[in-house]
Amino acid sequence: MARILVTEKLAEGGIEKMRAAGHDVDVRLNMSPGDLVDAAADADAIVIRSATTVNAEVLAAGSHLVVVGRAGIGLDNVDVAAATRRGVMVVNAPESNVLSAAEHAMGLLLAQARNIPQAHAALVSGSWERSRWTGVELHGKVLGVIGLGKVGALVAQRALAFGMRLVAYDPYVSPERARHMGVKLMSLDDLVAESDFVSIHLPKTPETIGLINADLLARAKVGLRIVNTARGGIIDEAALATSIASGHTGGAALDVFEAEPCTESPLFSLDPVVVTPHLGASTHEAQDKAGETIAEQVLLALAGEFVPFAVNVGAAAASETVRPFLPLAEQLGRFFAGLHDGMPDKLEIDYQGGLASEDTRILTLSALKGIFAAGTEEPVSYVNAPQLAEERGLEIREAVTATSRDFVNLVTLRSATHSLGGTLSGIRGDPRIVMVDDHTVEVPPAPHMLVVRNDDSPGMIGVVGSAIGSAGVSISSMAVGPSAGGQTALMVLSTDRPVPAATVADLRKSKGILDVHQVTAI
């Protein structure tokens, strides 16, 4: 049972999910920074939203910390670098509010185009002003989407339904993907020159701060209207106010601001401006999803399993192609560690087949996690596995091969003395070990396994089977593979429990037995 410290209001479903897993969930709201340091001392996990700052002092106090979870997207309030140095995983819920954010962007787009908030305010104050608040249609207008991530893609999809023409700026999106989305990619300068509306969907980084500035606005199409539901600071607000006041920029709809909470701005006095107080994620559905998603991520981290939304893992989130191979890669790592008496100096990992076109860095981390989990008492995670490799002097080389002779996909681990290959088999994608020390075999990974290399001569299977049976151990599965030259053979056996060490020692002394390794794959 772990202690999970929750410092801000979280959806009850998330709280209950963590408690149902058997953990002690300690909800403490409105703590001072000093109280947070004290409360972190014996916490295994801290769950926050946007108001709590987890800095280096908090992380240092949390000597048992495994994970910090942010129920939302932004991580400005977490010292991710300090967490990584301490081997603490940082996770967020990046997809919890994408639908809400996209819908809010569309709502602001419509509100700005049709002056809905201004007309409402005038009417409830007693003024019937039909002619003053004449708007424009979206149909046939050009929408420039700056950032084609998840939210940007959803906005583009919805804008197409309104009959808008779409252009986009995103240097990380391929033209082919953009074409599939019905979007034409172009430079930022060309985008603002051609667009009637712009919707911003970028992260806040040193490169994006002030991206929409006075110079860019001056080069933009006259009458351009800007929507920002991403992050404050991407737009130079003073420059935008000046451009709108001059009539060059047609208007804006803003949900985020450089400094929040924001209650005063030169933008607020301008008629063509619609503003909301950072409501992009403020739906019941988004809050529920954020709470439940972060609970799931924290539980996975505490269990030492793959955490899809870990931001400091050092590898991209696993794709749908890669994800099924994560358990296999860890199982191969555990098996590989068992084949070695000590840690090898070098590890080569080769991804063959369809995997060669994917980002496989997370698979390498999974393999390292399996290798070190088999040989150290130190907790091993996707965060500290590379650090352990560096500390232990393990040199890692990754390679990809687009073709695989016998399998659709194949993962191979190789050192100077041993080799191991695995794949997923059948419709269900069952894991299979298909090569050990360059001998072809096929056996499912199991908690208790024995690898026996012997002379390729009659009776050797009987020698091994008799020894194991005499020890009261049952063989669950077995695969036999000859060497390429035919002089030796390899047996890989799964057993219902570990083979006693004395039996293993006796087997090693048996005539014709060249080597015996007891390994664990699960």
Q: Assign 108 a pLDDT band (cuts: 50, 70, 90).
A: very high
Mean of the pLDDT values across residues 84-89?
87
Pairing relation of β-strands 142-146 and 165-169? parallel
Residue recorded with tokens 């794959």: 521
For residue range 229-265, list pLDDT tens digits in order: 999 999 999 999 999 999 999 999 999 999 988 999 9
Q: Which residue has the tokens 């669950």?
A: 476
- Burial category of 349 from C-beta neighbours within 10 Å (exposed 0-12, middle 13-18, buried 19 and up): buried
Say what the pLDDT of residue 344 is. 79
Distance CA 485, CA 182 (A): 57
**In the annotation, is 158 catalytic?**
no
For 380, phi then psi, to 5°, come to -115, 130
For 496, phi and psi rounded to 5 degrees?
-75, -15
Q: Where are the alpha helices (DSSP H) in 115-171?
A: 116-124, 150-161
pLDDT at 52 over 90: yes
Structural domains of the chain sorted by starting position, each given as residue range(s) with its CATH number in brackets: 3-94+285-302 (3.40.50.720), 98-275 (3.40.50.720), 323-519 (3.30.1330.90)
d(CA 503, CA 481): 22
Report the C-alpha gap between 251 and 237 in whole angstroms.
12
Question: Which amino acid type is present at position 361?
Answer: R
Tens-place pLDDT, residues 429-460 = 999 999 999 999 999 999 999 999 999 999 99
Alpha-carbon span 309 to 466, nearest angstrom: 49
* Contact present, 79 and 100 (Cβ < 8 Å): no
pLDDT at 158 over 60: yes
Mean pLDDT of 184-192: 96
CA dist 467 and 505 (Å) reads 11
Q: Over range 199-203, report the average pLDDT.
A: 92
pLDDT digits (tens, 9 = 90+) for 319-360: 788 989 989 999 999 899 889 866 777 999 999 999 999 989
Least confident of 31-35, 73-77, 271-275, 508-512: 73-77
Mean predicted confidence (pLDDT) in 162-169:
97
314 pLDDT band (50/70/90 cuts)?
Answer: low
Catalytic site residue 278? yes
pLDDT of residue 375: 58
Catalytic site residue from 49, 278, 432, 439: 278
State yes or no: pLDDT of 106 exceeds 90. yes
Judge contact between 73 and 93, C-beta under 8 A: yes
One-character DSSP codes across 450-501: EEEEEES-TTHHHHHHHHHHHTT--EEEEEEEE-TTSSEEEEEEEESSPPPH
Question: Is the pLDDT reported for residue 272 higher than 90?
Answer: yes
Is 323 annotated as catalytic? no
Give CA–CA dist 31/8, Å, rounded: 9
For residues 379 and 302, what is the distance between their CA atoms, to the nearest angstrom?
10
Instruction: Verify cis geometry, omega within 30 degrees of 0, for the bond prior to 379.
Output: no
Res 405 pLDDT > 90: no
Residue 259 near residue 232, CB atoms below 8 Å: yes
Structure confidence at residue 76 as a pLDDT band (50, 70, 90): confident
Q: How confident is the model at residue 84 (pLDDT cuts 50, 70, 90)?
A: confident
pLDDT of residue 436: 96
Q: At 374, is the pLDDT very low, low, confident or very high (cuts 50, 70, 90)?
A: low
- For residue 379, is pLDDT > 70? no
Angle between helices 12-20 and 284-302 (to 10 degrees): 20
375-401 mean pLDDT: 77
| % of the chain surpassing 90 pLDDT | 73
Q: Out of 231, 418, 432, 448, which one is annotated catalytic?
A: 231
Global confidence as pTM: 0.62
Answer whether residue 147 shows pLDDT above 80.
Answer: yes
> Which residues on adjacent β-strands are paired with residue 347?
396
Region 61-79 average pLDDT: 91
pLDDT for position 255 = 97
Q: Assess contact for 289 and 93: CB atoms under 8 A.
A: yes
Please tell me which residue in 129, 260, 378, 395 is annotated as part of the active site: 260
Which residues are 191's β-sheet partners? Answer: none
